[in-house]
């Protein structure tokens, strides 16, 4: 009787807990979560385009050193979301991770604003004309601390914001649950895209017209509003506790495989492998067989009656092993996407070019130099709409069956466009520099060359096509190749690639600066854009892009057919079999002897 009463009480407590959870979350939390991410994007992206001018003119850094700082800052900002996702899943939970991210971001933005407000926070400006007084260690320390705080903040917010919003809407009892989730993701991406566009236009325009004191103050206020809105709805959120991270499971496979390295493997189709309870898998695949030892079952007593390994660092499941294999297999193709991110990260070069060209659209209005990146954003958005709503439906109608470009093909097309964008950049810069020399501006990097800045648009358009094809193709490729349990890894791989690209870009830039500078020789990436040879730097990147494209073709061939290709072949075979069965419905198919 006591047992029955205890079970009934436990069931009632569980039902009451579920009911309480359902009263939280829902659509009422969406404005707060989406606004938090949107304001963070406006604030953080808004300070980026003109930061090269702030470092060069405010801190008297050379163009190469300023870019080096920006590359490392971008690398940290792109890497911290991966670390944030691990902490959110394993220890902190998503709510606490976002909360800490908001606090760090507000502090970082505030410190950056103070560097513009406090006169002693920067050295005396010399307008890039030597000799210039260098920034002190304290002045640089204050600036770098603001970058570090903002990177930590971005890692907290960007790593968990989207998933936290999905938690608020996830209701398995709702028959329209998938449609609601899909609608949420659409609004989320739309809000973040609009935020980036506002940052690259509105915030940059304010900085150009009102200076950095106001230009950094506005993002700081927006970041404060972002945090305030998020905390206001704290009592309405569903807050799931942290669980074991997938990353931990992947590390466990490596450790277990090493521990069991001397163990002899059983046949792959045997039951001598540990798998999750209720799983269909009975054995691992033949690929990367040395990892199979991590799930080899030596003693049935190593597993509890509930199907859990007593020591997960000595015995893993087949599913864990296959997850790690999937990750290892995509690394070569993932590495080829780094080159595109290296090219994309060269954003300071065209900003400096645009500042030396005629940017007037009308006699009274000119486009800010840092806002030309909006042409890339417009290209990406325009192509995606055109591709999805016009090109694919038209091609499918003409061929009489669904038509789509495979993920690997799109990635390859994107790599071609990223190399093309560097070639165009080199040609335009060669023309711009020749005109600057002809007009007598060789020693005046701040002079305006009689050449329209609209010549920069084609390179941005090519860069936009590269992003639209390769970046989105990469993400879709990871999602299609990885098991569903690895969706968090699929979403973070691209950001991790960008972080690696930023570090490599800084290494390439510093190497070029070191080896092209000498007695009587101006560096290719000189602070004086008219004396430097930026076109040579662009062409170096285009050569590297060409080599990278060849590497991608080889890696793609070595990888073999991907999941969407196999599915397409299965669909075709299924359709053919269906047509045959319709032609001869009463005749069984037979395999004829040779």
- Which domains are seen in the chain, by residue range? 22-236 (1.20.1250.20), 246-328 (no CATH), 337-571 (1.20.1250.20)
pLDDT, averaged per 10 consecutive residues of the chain (594 residues), comes to: 47 47 73 86 88 89 89 91 84 90 95 92 73 85 95 89 81 68 71 84 90 92 91 88 77 91 78 75 78 86 82 87 89 93 89 91 86 88 83 84 84 95 95 92 88 94 91 83 72 85 92 85 88 92 96 92 60 44 37 33
The tokens describing 354, both together, are 């645009």
Residues pairing with 357 in the sheet: 449
pTM of the predicted protein model: 0.81
The tokens describing 348, both together, are 């300071």
Q: Using omega within 30 degrees of 0 as the cis cutoff, is the peptide bond preceding 131 cis?
A: yes
The tokens describing 527, both together, are 């602070």
pLDDT at 184: 75
DSSP assignment string, 428-494: HHHHHHHHHHHTT-TT-TTSPEEEEGGGGHHHHHHHHHHIIIIIHHHHHHHHHHS-GGGHHHHHHHH
Q: Are 276 and 307 a contacting pair, CB within 8 Å? A: yes
The tokens describing 294, both together, are 């991590």
Query: Which one, of 180, 226, 167, lies nearest residue 32 by Cα?
Result: 226
Residues pairing with 358 in the sheet: 452
Name the DSSP letter for residue 514.
H
Burial of residue 431 (CB within 10 Å: 0-12, 13-18, 19+) is middle
Q: How far apart are CA 258 and CA 309, in angstroms?
A: 17
Name the DSSP letter for residue 134.
P
Q: How far apart are CA 405 and CA 392, in angstroms?
A: 9
pLDDT at 8: 46
* Runs of H (alpha helix) within 387-406: 392-399
- Alpha carbon 170 to its chain centroid, in Å, reads 24
CA distances from 510 to 61, 378, 412, 506, 517 (A): 14, 32, 28, 6, 11
pLDDT at 589: 32
pLDDT at 567: 54
């Amino acid at each position: 009787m006591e047992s029955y009463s205890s079970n009934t009480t436990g069931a009632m407590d569980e039902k009451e807990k579920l009911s309480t959870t359902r009263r939280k979350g829902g659509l009422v939390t969406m404005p707060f979560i989406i606004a938090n991410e949107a304001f963070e994007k406006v604030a953080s992206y808004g300070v980026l385009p003109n930061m090269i001018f702030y470092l060069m003119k405010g801190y008297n850094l050379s163009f190469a050193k300023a870019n080096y700082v920006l590359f490392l800052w971008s690398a940290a900002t792109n890497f911290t979301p991966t670390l944030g996702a691990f902490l959110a899943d394993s220890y902190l939970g998503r709510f606490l991770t976002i909360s800490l991210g908001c606090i760090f971001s507000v502090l970082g933005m505030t410190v950056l604003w103070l560097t513009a407000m406090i006169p002693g926070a920067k050295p005396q400006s010399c307008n890039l004309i030597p000799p210039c007084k260098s920034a002190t260690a304290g002045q640089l320390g204050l600036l770098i601390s603001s970058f570090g705080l903002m990177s930590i903040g971005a890692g907290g917010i960007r790593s968990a914001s989207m998933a936290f919003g999905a938690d608020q809407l996830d209701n398995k009892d709702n028959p329209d649950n998938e449609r609601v989730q899909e609608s949420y993701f659409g609004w989320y991406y739309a809000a973040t895209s609009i935020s980036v566009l506002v940052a690259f236009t509105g915030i940059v325009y304010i900085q150009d017209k009102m200076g950095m004191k106001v230009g950094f103050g506005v993002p700081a206020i927006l970041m404060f509003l972002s945090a305030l809105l998020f905390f206001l709805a704290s009592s309405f959120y569903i807050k799931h506790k942290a669980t074991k991270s997938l990353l931990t499971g992947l590390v466990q496979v490596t450790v277990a495989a090493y521990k069991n390295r001397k163990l002899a493997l059983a046949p792959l189709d045997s039951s001598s492998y540990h798998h999750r309870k209720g799983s269909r898998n009975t054995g691992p695949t033949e690929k990367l067989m040395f990892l199979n030892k991590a799930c080899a079952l030596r003693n049935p007593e190593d597993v509890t009656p509930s199907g859990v390994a007593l020591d997960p660092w000595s015995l893993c499941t087949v599913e864990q092993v296959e997850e790690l294999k999937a990750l290892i297999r995509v690394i070569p193709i993932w590495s080829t996407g780094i080159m595109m991110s290296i090219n994309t990260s060269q954003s300071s070069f065209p900003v400096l070019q645009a500042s030396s060209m005629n940017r007037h659209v009308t006699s009274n209005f000119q486009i800010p130099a840092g806002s030309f990146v909006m042409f890339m954003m417009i290209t990406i958005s325009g192509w995606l709409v055109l591709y999805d709503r016009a090109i694919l439906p038209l091609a499918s109608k003409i061929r009489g069956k669904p038509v789509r470009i495979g993920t690997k093909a799109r990635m390859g097309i994107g790599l071609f466009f990223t190399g093309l964008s560097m070639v165009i950049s080199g040609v335009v810069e060669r023309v711009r520099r020749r005109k600057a020399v002809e007009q007598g501006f060789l020693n005046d990097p701040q002079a305006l060359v009689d050449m329209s800045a609209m010549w920069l648009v084609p390179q941005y358009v090519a860069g936009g096509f590269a992003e639209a094809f390769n970046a989105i193709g990469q993400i879709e490729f990871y999602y299609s190749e990885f098991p569903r349990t690895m969706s968090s890894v699929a979403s973070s791989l691209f950001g991790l690639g960008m972080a690696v690209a930023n570090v490599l870009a800084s290494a390439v830039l510093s190497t070029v600066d070191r080896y092209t500078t000498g007695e009587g020789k101006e560096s290719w990436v000189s602070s004086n854009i008219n004396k430097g040879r930026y076109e040579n730097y662009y062409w170096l990147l285009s050569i590297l892009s060409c080599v990278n494209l060849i590497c991608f073709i080889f890696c793609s061939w070595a990888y073999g057919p991907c999941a969407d290709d196999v599915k397409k072949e299965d669909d075709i075979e299924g359709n053919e079999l269906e047509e045959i069965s319709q032609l001869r419905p009463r005749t069984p198919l037979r395999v004829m002897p040779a």
